[in-house]
Amino acid sequence: MVNKENISVGEEAETVKILTIEPGANLSAPEMRRAAIEMLEGGGVIYLPRSGFELSERERELISDTAKILTRVPDVEDGRPTIIFDPARGRIKKYHYAQVRGKMMRAQVRDTARPDIEAIMARYGKWAEDIITQLFPSYQGPLDRKRVTYRPFSRNSTQSLHIDSSYGYPTQGRSMLRIFSNINPANRPRIWQLGEPFEPFVRRFLPSVHLSKPAWFSSILARLGIVDGTKTKYDQYIAALRALGMRDKDYQRTAPRKVMEFPTGASWIAITDLVLHGAISGQHSLDQTFYLPVEAMNDPSHSSLRILERLTGEVLV
């Protein structure tokens, strides 16, 4: 049977929408807030070309030479490993590993640089919270501020289009709201690709999803402290869809996309388990992750949780 929804011959494929907020614009103006929340919850990206987060001259100089801040620079250039800052503890996580070409690696910050890097990341987290509360005041109470990520390493290989899955930090149906900033001291842009809207992506891969691990498996891992909280069916679906999309070479070659260049000093905001994205190149970016309960959204039906529940016919949290 031919499903009409899968045919898009001759039509201009739809990609993620972008709202640009010009420098100096009032983020608290009612019409600005309305446009921002509609764009964000609708699966778009909010782009602030000059958002105002800045490093001091000394900080710029420090990060200009990664050998000054890290004990080891990896020989693969895919932007990993990253440095994670936990705002609740006010500290960089010491043992945050990433798989870099089969090897487990971590970004080990030099003792001499640690206070400065922690200060930058702490300041960034507060700044990010301030921007988000100005633009989305209705999120303020329920919004949960999680980790800050710093990517000191260069990326020179294109990351497949994907939605974010939270691995060790299940969102349990909450949306992953993230604000990113390019802080490259040599004015190198951060380049991303942005894909199609969430729903056509899900419709394409949903028939291939087979959830394997039962919920009890995840709750044991959570109880042992291996993961931070139990993975719900929602987390499992998101992880499965992400993996299917990333693995599908044909999809990655032909999927609708547009390329965005974010210069130094720019920031951008998106719900990253709703927006298909992938980094192409860049070095030195910061981002702050928040978890947002869907009930706190202006229109929860736009959330990836509610879209997935509608398409699967299941309750997922």
Residue 223 belongs to what H/E stretch?
helix 215-223
Distance separating alpha carbons of residues 84 and 96, to the nearest angstrom: 7
Q: Which is nearer to Fe ion, 43 or 69 (by Cβ)?
A: 43
Q: Which is nearer to Fe ion, 69 or 179 (by Cβ)?
A: 179
Which amino acid would we find at residue 296?
A
Binding mask 86-115 for Fe ion (x = CB under 5 A): ------------------------------
Tell me the number of residues near Fe ion by CB under 5 A. Answer: 1
- Looking at the DSSP bridge assignments, the partners of residue 178 are 270, 289
Confirm if 278 and 183 have CB atoms less than 8 A apart: no
Q: Which is nearer to Fe ion, 62 or 179 (by Cβ)?
A: 179
SS3 content of the chain, % helix, strand, coil (to 5): 35, 20, 45
CB of 305 to Fe ion, least distance (A): 18
Q: Is 290 exposed, middle or buried (0-12, 13-18, 19+ CB in 10 A)?
A: buried
Q: Which is nearer to Fe ion, 173 or 195 (by Cβ)?
A: 195
Convert 71-105 to b/e letters by CB count within 10 Å (16 or more is b): eeebeeebbbbbbbbebeeeebeeebebebeeeee
* Under rule CB under 5 A, residue 116 binds Fe ion: no
Task: Return the residues of window 151-210 that contact Fe ion according to CB under 5 A.
Answer: 164
Q: Which is nearer to Fe ion, 69 or 275 (by Cβ)?
A: 275
Confirm if 183 and 284 have CB atoms less than 8 A apart: yes
Distance separating alpha carbons of residues 147 and 178, to the nearest angstrom: 10
CB of 45 to Fe ion, least distance (A): 12
Q: Which residues contact 253 (CB under 8 A, 6 or more apart)?
A: none
Could you give the C-alpha distances from 68 to 61, 96, 116, in angstroms and in order? 10, 19, 11
CB of 287 to Fe ion, least distance (A): 9
CB of 15 to Fe ion, least distance (A): 16
Tell me which residue has its CB nearest to Fe ion.
164
CB of 314 to Fe ion, least distance (A): 25
Q: Which is nearer to Fe ion, 21 or 275 (by Cβ)?
A: 275
Q: Which residues contact 119 (CB under 8 A, 6 or more apart)?
A: none
Q: Which is nearer to Fe ion, 41 or 164 (by Cβ)?
A: 164
Q: Which is nearer to Fe ion, 37 or 176 (by Cβ)?
A: 176
CB of 162 to Fe ion, least distance (A): 6
CB of 274 to Fe ion, least distance (A): 12
Q: Which residues contact 13 (CB under 8 A, 6 or more apart)?
A: 196, 256
CB of 119 to Fe ion, least distance (A): 26
Contact residues toward Fe ion (CB under 5 A) are 164
